[in-house]
Chain A
Amino acid sequence: MGFIQVEDVVKRFGKTVALRGVSLSIEKGELFAILGPSGCGKTTLLRIIAGFEVPDSGRIVFEGRDVTELPPDKRGTVMVFQNWALWPHMTVYENIAFGLRLRKLPREEIDKRVKWALDLLGLRGMEKRYPGQLSGGQQQRVALARALVVQPRVLLLDEPLSNLDAKLRLRLRGELRKLQRKLGITMIYVTHDQEEAMSLADRIAVMRNGIVEEVGSPEQLYSNPSKLFTAMFLGRTTLVLGKVVDTEDRTAVIQLGEIQVKAINHGLGKGDTAALVVKAEGATTRQPHSPGDYTVLRGTVSVSMYIGSFIEVRLAIPGLEKDILLDLPSDEKEPLIGSELEVYVPLRNMHAYPAEEEIVKEALEQA
């Protein structure tokens, strides 16, 4: 049994079902990310773990103890909010010391711990400032310091970096990971940013439409996703439909418009309709050393853009309704729009799944 167990949790808001029987097991000292698109129920799940919402059915268990009905102040969890929720009428020092004062610690101990948190997050010298006098990054660090200083058994983070600019987000992401490793706190991190989840988490739960699609390590989910949605959601991908013409050991041969390609097979049989997910990276126009690990896509270039670190190409395959997005290395020659092109795509970046109608429809609508 995990340190935190989420057992078959269902939550409705009126007629909307936010969570449809979610179960998770989170280990002690783990940084666990809940990743999914907007409206998938990830924040609702976090709020249920925090005690701000009560599930309609199901249980939340901390170290074997059912806490489903316990109010947030009795759970030993602390939450860091998306907008940081600093109290504007209190100074940085007072914000950080608040939780310690609630615990009625001696004044010297409070001072010692607040200074520890200030040092830890590089906030020394800002003790007397009010939140309104701080930058976004500083406010975010105060919110973290306020949460960490009480040494919670679980730290819950609801997209805490999403309101920051890209550069700062990247820096604080690294700091957060370092802190988690250093302090060994169990963290549950909610985000819609796949890069953030991949770089931070020990394990990720991918959510869609109120259910957990898949749980696994970032490497596992990215390189070998067992579900169509996970494959499509992680990375720069294109989803197209094809027909399975043959199956081999772990691969399937798929008729894609007028061409045939190979892909890793996730439970398809001959004659099935395949939802093929093609990851953009790793493609090349150069003949690879081990052609067996690649499949070839042939088509006409409809878009070609030099991005800097790569060349973005969209390939129109005859008979296929949708162009395939591919990233070529920037040292290759930028293909001309309208030219015929042969691209080698690593087999590990081609995954074929049974075509789940709902997901395929969503993906095609978004395209």
Chain B
Amino acid sequence: MASLPLAMPGLVVAFSYFVFFSKYSLYGFFDPFLNPGHVLVLAYIIRKMLFTVRLVFTSVIQTPEELEEATRSLGARRARVIRRIVLPLVWYCVVAVLLPGPIYILSEVSVSVTIGALKGGPIANPSTHAVPITYAIAEIFTLPSVTGGTQPQARAAALAALLMVTEVAVIAIASRLARRGQALITL
């Protein structure tokens, strides 16, 4: 079931959310006009959660059953087995799969453009509308040159470099943690 959102194109999810929340949450917490950020967070979770769920699930099922049974055999109840044995063993893997979450979201375009642009909009109020960083880079890059000060192209390049550094750092940490997690599980 967790994989079902994958079958939905981002635009379909975005429009469905827009229609649903503009009808049932108008002026409320999930009002797509007033609080597109809230709807975005929900959309990101639903769209990207399945990767995390799948990877965490894989880590958990890789934990040898005997480790849990040895704990139960010594007198531990199920909850304690999960807290003291399963979670510490899969923790590195869980963190490792959670870390790339923001990376997925940074590259999530269809939902962000559709829902995020509702508040203010790129033309009416460019300072308040919410779009993914890649979209922002493209927008800034196409702005006309200015006399004096930093050129928009340079700002776009700096933003792109920042994005790359962040992504590389996150991927490096995630890989390192995943390796440690695997080392513990497969011992």
Task: Name A residues whose Cβ lies closer than 8 Å to a Cβ of B.
Answer: 50, 52, 71-73, 77-79, 81, 83, 85-89, 98-99, 102-103, 131-132, 146-147, 150, 156
With A72-B69, A79-B69 in contact, is A85–B75 under 8 Å at CB? no
Residues of A within 8 A of B74 (CB): 73, 78, 98-99, 102, 146-147, 150
| C-alpha spacing A156/B70, complex, angstroms | 11
How far, in Å, is A122 (CB) from chain B's closest CB?
21
Residues of B within 8 A of A86 (CB): 70
Can you list 22 contacts pairing A with B, beta carbon distance less than 8 Å? A52-B72, A72-B73, A73-B72, A73-B73, A77-B73, A79-B70, A79-B73, A81-B70, A85-B70, A87-B67, A87-B70, A87-B89, A88-B89, A88-B184, A88-B187, A89-B88, A98-B74, A98-B84, A103-B75, A132-B183, A150-B74, A150-B75
| C-alpha spacing A132/B89, complex, angstroms | 14
| C-alpha spacing A81/B74, complex, angstroms | 12
Contacting pair B73 A78 (CB below 8 A) = yes
Q: Give chain B interface residues in 64-91, CB to chain A under 8 Å.
A: 64, 66-67, 69-77, 80, 84-85, 88-89
| C-alpha spacing A147/B70, complex, angstroms | 9
| C-alpha spacing A103/B74, complex, angstroms | 9
How far, in Å, is B15 (CB) from chain A's closest CB?
46
* Nearest A residue (CB) for B187: A88
Residues of A within 8 A of B89 (CB): 87-89
Cβ-neighbour of B69 out of A52, A131, A147, A150 (below 8 A): A52
Cβ-neighbour of A85 out of B64, B76, B84 (below 8 A): B64
* Nearest A residue (CB) for B66: A85
Contacts A72-B69, A88-B185 given; 14 further ones with Cβ under 8 A?
A52-B73, A72-B73, A73-B72, A73-B77, A81-B66, A85-B66, A87-B70, A87-B85, A88-B89, A89-B89, A98-B74, A132-B187, A147-B74, A156-B73
| C-alpha spacing A4/B60, complex, angstroms | 35
How far, in Å, is B168 (CB) from chain A's closest CB?
29
Residues of B in contact, count (CB < 8 Å) = 21
| C-alpha spacing A98/B84, complex, angstroms | 10
Contacting pair B69 A81 (CB below 8 A) = yes
How far, in Å, is A181 (CB) from chain B's closest CB?
23
How far, in Å, is A197 (CB) from chain B's closest CB?
22
Residues of B within 8 A of A156 (CB): 73
Cβ-neighbour of B76 out of A77, A88, A102, A132 (below 8 A): A102
* Nearest B residue (CB) for A78: B73
With A87-B85, A88-B187 in contact, is A102–B69 under 8 Å at CB? no
How far, in Å, is A66 (CB) from chain B's closest CB?
20
Contacting pair B187 A99 (CB below 8 A) = no
How far, in Å, is A260 (CB) from chain B's closest CB?
54
Residues of B within 8 A of A103 (CB): 75
Residues of A within 8 A of B70 (CB): 79, 81, 85-87, 146
| C-alpha spacing A72/B64, complex, angstroms | 17
Residues of A within 8 A of B88 (CB): 89
Instruction: Give the residue among B71, B74, B84, B88 with the most A Cβ atoms within 10 A.
Output: B74
How far, in Å, is A161 (CB) from chain B's closest CB?
16
* Nearest A residue (CB) for B88: A89
| C-alpha spacing A99/B84, complex, angstroms | 12
How far, in Å, is B150 (CB) from chain A's closest CB?
50
How far, in Å, is A205 (CB) from chain B's closest CB?
21
How far, in Å, is A147 (CB) from chain B's closest CB?
8
| C-alpha spacing A272/B151, complex, angstroms | 105
Instruction: Give the residue among B70, B88, B184, B185 with the most A Cβ atoms within 10 A.
Output: B70
* Nearest A residue (CB) for B72: A72
| C-alpha spacing A79/B66, complex, angstroms | 10
| C-alpha spacing A79/B68, complex, angstroms | 12
| C-alpha spacing A230/B142, complex, angstroms | 87
| C-alpha spacing A142/B85, complex, angstroms | 17
| C-alpha spacing A267/B183, complex, angstroms | 59
Contacting pair A85 B72 (CB below 8 A) = no
With A73-B75, A78-B74 in contact, is A85–B67 under 8 Å at CB? yes
Contacting pair B187 A85 (CB below 8 A) = no
Contacting pair A131 B187 (CB below 8 A) = yes
Going nearest first, the 4 A-B pairs with the smallest beta carbon separation are A85-B66, A88-B187, A99-B74, A85-B70
Cβ-neighbour of B75 out of A50, A81, A99, A132 (below 8 A): A99
Residues of A within 8 A of B85 (CB): 87
| C-alpha spacing A52/B84, complex, angstroms | 19
Residues of A within 8 A of B183 (CB): 132
How far, in Å, is B144 (CB) from chain A's closest CB?
58
| C-alpha spacing A78/B76, complex, angstroms | 11
